[in-house]
């Protein structure tokens, strides 16, 4: 029997996912149930724990943020310091003891680490390498197979493709006509349809107990949060979003949800659930019934997730809070009605009502993290000022926030039909190294060129995050000096501090 491991790769120095990834956890249960005992290794949390002190770093993650260094290592094996860190990561995960190593690409920042680890695992230890995860489904990653140390690429839901790969490697089947499996043979890439697996048939996630303890240790309040998936799809079609533009709605039956959560809470002694879909509020009635079921079944846990707050009223918010809702991640994006219309942001049609909803969430103790985007195509300085005004008017109602600069991403409406948004994409050579560059440049046909947009965007980004951080200093850090001084102390000596703790202060 092949020994198999699913690896969560490290992230960059500033990154920290406050809970384990859901995909590998579901895949492990499925493979185990089909006779292939599979281990999970979360290198992201193991390295974050070892690097937790601001002034002492066991791993130099910044090495992997340097494109030139990464390319030189992948092409020529150059870079003794990088190789030493790669070998340390392999030992940390005990990866040489497995026959098949699967890497989960949750975000593009995972890619340099996954590639460097795979190169050494293949060339030095002759392991079979599989890449998959959310990123390989959101965009075209087939050029990864040009790296001769990657054997298979899984696109879409990984249950059946990964099982078929293991059976094939043991000589028990073919992969030629299997959906979701991309591979290279005789210099040609064999592609397939994306694999989908019914959400109602998905296994209960399994987690690595040792890695879970590290997440809990990085929490000042002993928080143990597990991910769970309620639904697939999003009813909103934001022009810049690449993840859910073409997906259909499917929901996990509430009876299964309650049963699964009860088992997860008991098995792993967790006290919090993060619902991992892109929009927890696709169906407000589903959220209402979920809250009612949690209360009726007397389940005691905190919960939250990514949430579009349009359509919420006081009675629903009160019910959610009673059932244990503690935190919501909300996409505000822009304070400008003009930008909201251009970007098809139907998740907040009325800005004044949106502000009132944030106020109500704050009233009932549901804390929010608000996302903002600056430098949309054709965003004027007046549009930008409206976003700043919105932040200043509502900051007292949310716990945290962050702004990013607009980027054009594959599979979004804007990427597919740039002419509809009056922008012109730059040409880009697609090869195995272009995946390390996650930005598509573009010009406004009747406005700024790309270089001008970069300059303007960085200026706006600096201002926006400075304003948010100043307010968060008041909302979180100063108040925590009295309620939880250990949280503040840990924030100063470890970086970044646990992301979810602040929603429970």
Q: In the predicted model, is pLDDT for residue 246 greater than 60?
A: no
Cβ atoms < 10 Å from Cβ of 33: 12
User: 364-403, pLDDT tens digit by residue?
Assistant: 999 999 999 999 999 999 999 999 999 999 999 999 999 9
Which alpha helices (H) appear in 124-203, and where do they start and end? 134-138, 159-169
Whether the Cβ atoms of residue 326 and residue 503 lie closer than 8 Å to each other: yes
DSSP state of 179: T
- The predicted model gives 115-121 an average pLDDT of 98
Cβ atoms < 10 Å from Cβ of 88: 14
What mean pLDDT value characterizes the chain?
91
Q: In the predicted model, is pLDDT for residue 495 greater than 90?
A: no
Give me the pLDDT at residue 440, please.
87
Lowest mean pLDDT among 90-94, 111-115, 246-250, 255-259: 246-250
C-alpha dihedral (413, 416, 422, 423), degrees to nearest 10: 110
- The predicted model gives 75-101 an average pLDDT of 96
Q: In the predicted model, is pLDDT for residue 6 greater than 70?
A: yes
Distance CA 213, CA 45 (A): 10
Helix axes 254-268 and 284-296, enclosed angle (nearest 10): 50
Distance CA 375, CA 459 (A): 10
Distance CA 335, CA 382 (A): 10
The proportion of the chain whose per-residue pLDDT surpasses 70, expressed as a percent, equals 97
Q: In the predicted model, is pLDDT for residue 486 greater than 70?
A: yes
Determine if the peptide bond prior to 453 is cis (ω within 30°): no
C-alpha dihedral (398, 490, 467, 504), degrees to nearest 10: 0
Residues 418-433 as b/e (b if ≥16 CB within 10 A, e otherwise) read beebebeeeeeeeebb
| Consecutive H or E run containing 255 | helix 254-268
Give me the pLDDT at residue 257, please.
96
Give me the pLDDT at residue 155, please.
94
Indicate the pLDDT class of residue 165, thresholds 50, 70 and 90: very high
The sign of the CA dihedral 74, 103, 45, 4 is negative
Cβ atoms < 10 Å from Cβ of 170: 12
Q: In the predicted model, is pLDDT for residue 163 greater than 90?
A: yes
- Torsion angles phi and psi, residue 135, rounded to 5: -70, -35
**Burial zone of 256 (CB within 10 Å; 0-12 exposed, 13-18 middle, 19+ buried):** middle
Q: In the predicted model, is pLDDT for residue 478 greater than 90?
A: no
Whether the Cβ atoms of residue 226 and residue 205 lie closer than 8 Å to each other: yes
User: 435-477, pLDDT tens digit by residue?
Assistant: 887 688 999 999 999 999 999 999 999 999 999 998 888 888 8
Indicate the pLDDT class of residue 258, thresholds 50, 70 and 90: very high
Indicate the pLDDT class of residue 278, thresholds 50, 70 and 90: confident
User: 15-53, pLDDT tens digit by residue?
Assistant: 778 899 999 999 999 999 999 999 999 999 999 999 988
First and final C-alpha spacing in the chain: 48
Indicate the pLDDT class of residue 1, thresholds 50, 70 and 90: confident
Q: In the predicted model, is pLDDT for residue 229 greater than 80?
A: yes
Give me the pLDDT at residue 453, please.
96
Residue with tokens 């909201």: 340
The sign of the CA dihedral 320, 324, 326, 331 is negative
Which of the listed ranges 293-302, 348-357, 430-439 does the model predict with the highest average pLDDT? 293-302
- The predicted model gives 283-312 an average pLDDT of 94
Cβ atoms < 10 Å from Cβ of 213: 13
Q: In the predicted model, is pLDDT for residue 201 greater than 80?
A: yes
The proportion of the chain whose per-residue pLDDT surpasses 90, expressed as a percent, equals 68
| Consecutive H or E run containing 43 | helix 43-50
Whether the Cβ atoms of residue 72 and residue 116 lie closer than 8 Å to each other: no
State the chain's maximal CA–CA distance in angstroms.
66
What is the reported pTM? 0.93
Residues 447-475 as b/e (b if ≥16 CB within 10 A, e otherwise) read ebebeebeebbeebbeebbebbeebbeeb
Domains of the chain and CATH, by start: 4-190 (3.40.50.280), 219-504 (3.80.30.20)
- The predicted model gives 300-307 an average pLDDT of 95
């Amino acid at each position: 029997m092949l020994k198999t491991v699913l690896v969560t790769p490290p992230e960059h120095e500033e990154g920290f996912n406050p809970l384990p990834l859901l995909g590998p956890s579901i895949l492990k249960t499925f493979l185990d149930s089909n006779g292939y005992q599979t281990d999970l290794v979360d290198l992201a949390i193991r390295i974050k724990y070892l690097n937790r002190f601001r002034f002492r770093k066991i791993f130099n993650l910044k090495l992997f943020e340097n494109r030139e260094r990464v390319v030189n290592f992948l092409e020529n094996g150059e870079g003794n310091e990088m190789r030493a860190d790669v070998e340390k990561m392999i030992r940390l995960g005990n990866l040489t003891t497995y026959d098949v190593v699967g890497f989960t690409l949750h975000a593009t920042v995972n890619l340099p680490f996954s590639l460097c680890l795979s190169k050494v695992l293949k060339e030095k230890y002759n392991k079979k390498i599989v890449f998959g995860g959310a990123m390989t489904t959101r965009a075209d990653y087939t050029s990864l197979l040009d790296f001769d140390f990657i054997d298979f690429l899984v696109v879409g839901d990984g249950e059946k493709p990964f099982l078929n790969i293991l059976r094939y490697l043991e000589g028990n089947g073919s992969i030629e006509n299997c959906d979701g499996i991309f591979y290279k043979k005789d210099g040609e890439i064999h592609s397939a349809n994306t694999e989908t697996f019914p959400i109602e048939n998905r296994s209960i996630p399994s987690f690595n107990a040792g890695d879970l303890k590290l997440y809990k240790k990085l929490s000042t309040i002993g928080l143990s949060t597990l991910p769970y998936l309620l639904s697939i799809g999003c009813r909103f079609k934001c022009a810049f979003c690449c993840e859910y533009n073409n997906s259909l709605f499917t929901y996990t039956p509430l009876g299964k949800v309650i049963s699964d959560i009860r088992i997860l809470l008991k098995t792993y002694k967790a006290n919090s659930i993060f619902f991992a879909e892109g929009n927890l509020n696709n169906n407000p009635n589903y959220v209402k019934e979920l809250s009612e079921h949690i209360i009726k079944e007397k389940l005691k846990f905190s919960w939250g997730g990514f949430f579009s707050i349009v359509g919420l009223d006081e009675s629903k918010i009160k019910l959610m809070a009673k059932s244990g809702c503690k935190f919501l991640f909300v996409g505000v994006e822009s304070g400008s009605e003009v930008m909201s219309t251009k970007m098809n942001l139907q998740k907040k049609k009325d800005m004044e009502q949106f502000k009132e909803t944030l106020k109500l969430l704050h009233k009932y103790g549901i804390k929010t993290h608000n996302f903002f985007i600056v430098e949309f195509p054709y965003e004027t300085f007046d549009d930008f000022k409206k976003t700043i005004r919105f932040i200043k008017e509502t900051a007292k109602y949310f716990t945290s926030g962050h702004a990013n600069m607009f980027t054009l991403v594959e599979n979004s409406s804007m990427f597919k039909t740039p002419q509809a948004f009056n922008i012109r994409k730059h040409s880009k050579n697609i090869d195995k190294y272009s995946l390390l560059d996650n930005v598509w440049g573009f010009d406004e046909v009747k406005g700024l060129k790309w270089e001008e947009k970069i300059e303007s965007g960085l200026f706006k980004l600096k201002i926006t995050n400075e304003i948010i951080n100043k307010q968060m200093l008041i909302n979180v850090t100063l108040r925590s000096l009295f309620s939880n001084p250990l949280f503040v102390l840990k924030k100063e000596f470890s970086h970044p501090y646990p992301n979810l703790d602040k929603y429970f202060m």
